[in-house]
């Protein structure tokens, strides 16, 4: 589903290279965890996948279902099924949450040549998905993310993911700032989306989230490269021994 | 002297003086009213229209900008339209003439033409100060409007809509409105234009809020693309009175909206929210002065401007705090979204504080669309131009949403979206 080949990327504004020859393959149905110390390029990778224009790809390619996505803008990537759950979802005053959800769902449908949702159908979908995520309906009456707690913001991200039904889900430190109850709710939300035709990339610092979202593969990112890949036991290993040994072995 | 004046008069000044000569015989009122009109016109003749050398008009050179004044057109036809909010009581002024049906229950009402004929209106026909060009023009030519009294303790459940519809020519209206103690009401002052003919519309609303009255006054200005609109709201707030003034400018070629207020009772609160949607080759000026004259009064002003094309906008905001007006709390903000390199906005905040124990602040920002917000919306599959439009809408809708009345919010947001869609 996703194949990243020898990717090099830098910050557009100052040219700082962050991703330096990254290779990664994620198959349909797979849950891949990406771990790594601070500054290794994890969030940058997620932004690059989503098409954020603050970063420039200088070499290599990103293939999604066999096609390069480098020329696609963020909305086209999203409509093709790539979803990034943000580490820090932004507050947008004046944009009503419900209106935002409806526009996003319908714009994606339009892009794919599908009919727009009727209002009752839309409301039914939102109600069902938010109930599963224990989201208070009052939260949806507020402007997008405005005044939401950290946990509410993360749940709102997973709600968007559930409603938009993406094919490739990228979760950027979705566990940060969550207490254990919220973590379980979010993990349940993600697990409910696991399916043979969908891939999930979980970016995290901690093994804790991976107890609830059990990965098929684990990749260690360091200085913009994947320096080690393994199965879920690699995450336990990192938890017990830290990154030093792996970084030492790779150097 | 006279010759010199005649030589320097602009086309608009000449047209105003000629209009006075042509119309004075049919304008309502005699005696003191007529003398008051004559005095105002004499000042207009002597001073001419204000130029940028007059400080209050520095950013709006009325003499240069007001190119022509269309003659009064008695044959022009206009009719009342559906109210903005269903269920409102409508008081129409059609091409400057009050269309009196029945007074809505609970309020006392008469046409301003009657007040002029009876002569009681003479006291209104004065200038605020030597720079009061709007009061001067309006007072010289005022033909009609409504004098309204909302009695003490009256609660109007439905909005009252003052509907001014202009199709051609010029019109000059006044609305002296007294809100009795503890009264509650929402008033919508709505300016509409039909057809493409250029119009000049002037309007002066004088609001008096007695103690503990709580009033929302909404001005929705949607004049035509070739219209000139000169408007003034004056208000006086008694003890614990609350006035929320919402102003939306979404039309007109040349617009000056003045707001002049004083707090005269302790505990009074004034809230101004303004939205200026500016496009084309237009000039729009919102000028605001507020005197905190007694202790313990509060005010907050938030102005949001969106500019396209070659539009020019101005906000002047002056807050004065009298020497004994301790514990005044006043805040003013003017935020501008400039969406064209050729558009231009001038903001001039002024604080004149003569008391020492007060909180006063002002801020003015000029911004572009927040790129992080734009990216977030795009990352959810919303194409860039649609995402941009959503964020421009959000910038002004945030203000509208403070209105609390859901029906009114929805109506105003629809008007704003339609305007933005047309101009983006």
- Reported as a single tens digit per residue, the pLDDT across A77-124 is 999 999 999 999 999 998 999 999 999 999 999 999 999 999 999 999
Question: Is A138 part of any domain?
Answer: no
Q: Does residue B309 carry a pLDDT above 80? A: yes
Question: Is A133 part of any domain?
Answer: no
Phi-psi region of A134 (alpha: psi -120 to 50; beta: other; left: phi over 0): left
Nearest Cβ partner for B380 among A53, A73, A78: A78
Q: Which residues of chain A have pLDDT under 50?
A: none
- What pLDDT, on the 0 to 100 scale, is given for residue A242? 86
For residue B1, name the pLDDT band (cuts at 50, 70, 90): very low
List pLDDT tens digits, range B26-36: 999 999 999 99
- With CB atoms and an 8 Å threshold, state whether B379 touches A79: no
H or E element, residue B205: strand B199-209
For residues B162 and B188, is the Cβ–Cβ distance under 8 A?
A: yes
Question: Is A136 part of any domain?
Answer: no
Question: Is A219 part of any domain?
Answer: yes
For testing the chain A interface, which of B381, B392, B403 should be mutated: the one with the most A CBs within 10 Å? B381
For residues A186 and A150, is the Cβ–Cβ distance under 8 A?
A: no
Q: Which chain B residues contact residue A89 at CB under 8 A? A: 376
Measure A77 CA to nearest chain B CA, in Å.
7
Q: Which of B120, B153, B289, B375 is nearest to A75 (CA)?
A: B375
Q: Which backbone phi and psi does B64 adopt, to 5 degrees?
A: -80, -35
- What pLDDT, on the 0 to 100 scale, is given for residue B396? 94
Nearest Cβ partner for B379 among A74, A94, A143: A74
List pLDDT tens digits, range B92-118: 999 999 997 777 888 999 999 999 999
List pLDDT tens digits, range B241-290: 999 999 999 999 999 999 999 999 999 999 999 999 999 999 999 999 99
Q: Does residue B175 carry a pLDDT above 60? A: yes
Which residues contact residue B344 at a Cβ distance below 8 angstroms, ignoring those fewer than 6 apart? Answer: B307, B311, B312, B313
Buried b / exposed e across A238-251, counting CB within 10 Å, b at 16+? beeeebeebbeeee
- What pLDDT, on the 0 to 100 scale, is given for residue B3? 47
Nearest Cβ partner for B382 among A77, A86, A104: A104
Q: Domain limits of chain B?
A: 2-265, 370-424
Question: Is A192 part of any domain?
Answer: yes
Question: Is A78 part of any domain?
Answer: yes
Nearest Cβ partner for A95 among B372, B381, B390: B390
B33-49: average pLDDT:
96
Measure A26 CA to nearest chain B CA, in Å.
21
Question: Is A97 part of any domain?
Answer: no
- What pLDDT, on the 0 to 100 scale, is given for residue B404? 87
The boundaries of the domain holding residue A242 are: 2-90+166-250
Give the 3-state secondary structure of residue B161.
strand
CATH of the domain at A62: 3.40.50.300
Q: Does residue B4 carry a pLDDT above 80? A: no
Question: How many domains does one find in chain A?
Answer: 1
pTM given for the model = 0.85
For testing the chain B interface, which of A43, A47, A74 should be mutated: the one with the most B CBs within 10 Å? A74
Measure A75 CA to nearest chain B CA, in Å.
4
- With CB atoms and an 8 Å threshold, state whether B378 touches A107: no
Give the 3-state secondary structure of residue A28.
coil
Q: Does residue B7 carry a pLDDT above 80? A: no
- What pLDDT, on the 0 to 100 scale, is given for residue A170? 96
Instruction: Walk across the sheet containing A168-172 and list its strands.
Output: A82-85, A168-172, A199-203, A31-35, A217-222, A225-230
Measure B376 CA to nearest chain A CA, in Å.
7
- Helices B371-378 + B384-400 axis angle, to 10: 120
Q: Which chain B residues contact residue A160 at CB under 8 A? A: 380
Question: Is A214 part of any domain?
Answer: yes
- What pLDDT, on the 0 to 100 scale, is given for residue A176? 84
Q: Which chain A residues contact residue B372 at CB under 8 A? A: 90
Nearest Cβ partner for A52 among B375, B393, B394: B375
Label the pairing between strands A67-68 and A55-64. Answer: antiparallel
State chain B's mean pLDDT as an integer.
94
């Amino acid at each position: 589903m996703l194949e990243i080949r020898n990717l090099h990327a830098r910050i557009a504004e100052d040219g700082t290279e962050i991703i330096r020859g990254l290779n990664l393959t994620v198959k349909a149905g797979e849950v891949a965890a990406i771990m790594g110390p601070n500054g290794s390029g994890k969030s940058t990778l997620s932004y690059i996948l989503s098409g954020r224009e603050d970063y420039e790809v200088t070499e290599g390619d990103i293939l999604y279902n066999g096609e390069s996505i480098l020329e696609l803008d963020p909305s086209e990537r999203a409509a093709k099924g790539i979803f990034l759950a943000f580490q820090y979802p932004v507050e947008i005053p004046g944009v009503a949450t419900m209106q935002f959800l409806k526009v996003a769902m319908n714009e994606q449908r339009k892009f794919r040549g599908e009919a727009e949702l009727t209002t009752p159908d839309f409301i039914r979908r939102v109600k069902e998905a938010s109930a599963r995520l224990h989201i208070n309906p009052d939260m949806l009456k507020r402007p997008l993310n405005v005044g939401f707690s950290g946990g509410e913001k993360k749940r709102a991200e997973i709600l968007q993911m559930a409603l938009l039904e993406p094919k490739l889900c990228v979760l950027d430190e979705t566990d940060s700032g969550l207490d254990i109850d919220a973590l379980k709710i979010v993990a349940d939300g993600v697990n409910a989306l696991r399916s043979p035709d969908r891939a999930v990339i979980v970016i995290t610092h901690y093994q804790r989230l991976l107890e609830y979202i059990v990965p098929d593969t684990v990749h260690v990112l360091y200085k913009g490269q994947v320096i080690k890949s393994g199965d879920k036991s690699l995450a336990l290993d990192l938890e017990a021994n830290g990154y030093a040994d792996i970084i030492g072995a790779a150097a | 002297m006279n010759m010199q004046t005649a030589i320097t008069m602009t086309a608009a000044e000449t047209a105003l003086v000629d209009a006075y000569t042509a119309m004075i015989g049919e304008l309502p009122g005699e005696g003191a009213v007529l003398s008051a009109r004559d005095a105002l016109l004499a000042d207009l003749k002597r001073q001419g229209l204000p130029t940028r050398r007059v400080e209050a008009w520095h950013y709006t050179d009325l003499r240069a900008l007001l190119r022509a004044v269309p003659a009064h057109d008695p044959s022009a036809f206009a009719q009342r339209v559906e109210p903005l909010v269903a269920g409102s009581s409508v008081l129409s002024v059609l091409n400057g003439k009050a269309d009196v049906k029945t007074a809505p229950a609970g309020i006392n009402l008469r046409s301003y033409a009657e007040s002029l004929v009876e002569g009681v209106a003479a006291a209104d026909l004065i200038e605020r100060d030597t720079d009061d060009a709007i009061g001067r023009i309006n007072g010289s030519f005022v033909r009609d409007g409504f004098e309204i009294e909302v009695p003490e303790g009256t609660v109007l459940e439905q909005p009252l809509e003052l509907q001014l519809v202009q199709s051609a020519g010029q019109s000059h209206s006044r609305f002296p409105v007294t809100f009795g103690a503890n009264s509650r009401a929402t008033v919508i002052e709505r300016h509409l234009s039909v057809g493409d003919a250029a119009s000049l519309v002037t309007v002066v609303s004088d609001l008096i809020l007695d103690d503990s009255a709580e009033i929302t006054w909404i001005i929705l200005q949607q004049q035509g693309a070739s219209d000139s609109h000169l408007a003034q709201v004056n208000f006086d707030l008694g003890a614990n009175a609350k006035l929320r003034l919402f102003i939306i400018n979404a039309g007109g070629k040349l617009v000056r909206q003045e707001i002049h207020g004083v707090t005269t009772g302790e505990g009074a609160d004034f809230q101004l929210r303004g939205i200026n949607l500016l496009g084309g080759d237009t000039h729009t000026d919102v000028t605001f002065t507020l005197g905190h004259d007694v202790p313990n009064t509060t005010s907050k002003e938030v102005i949001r401007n969106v500019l396209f094309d070659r539009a020019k906008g101005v906000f002047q905001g002056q807050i004065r705090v009298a020497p004994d007006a301790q514990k005044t709390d006043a805040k003013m903000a003017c935020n501008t979204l400039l969406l064209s390199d050729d558009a231009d906005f001038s903001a001039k905040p002024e604080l004149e504080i003569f008391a020492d124990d007060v909180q006063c602040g002002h801020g003015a920002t000029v911004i572009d669309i927040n790129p992080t917000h734009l990216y977030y919306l795009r990352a959810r599959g919303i194409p860039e131009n649609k995402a941009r439009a959503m964020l421009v809408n959000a910038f002004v809708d945030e203000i509208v949403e403070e209105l609390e009345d859901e029906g009114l919010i929805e109506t105003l947001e629809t008007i704003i979206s339609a305007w933005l869609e047309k101009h983006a």
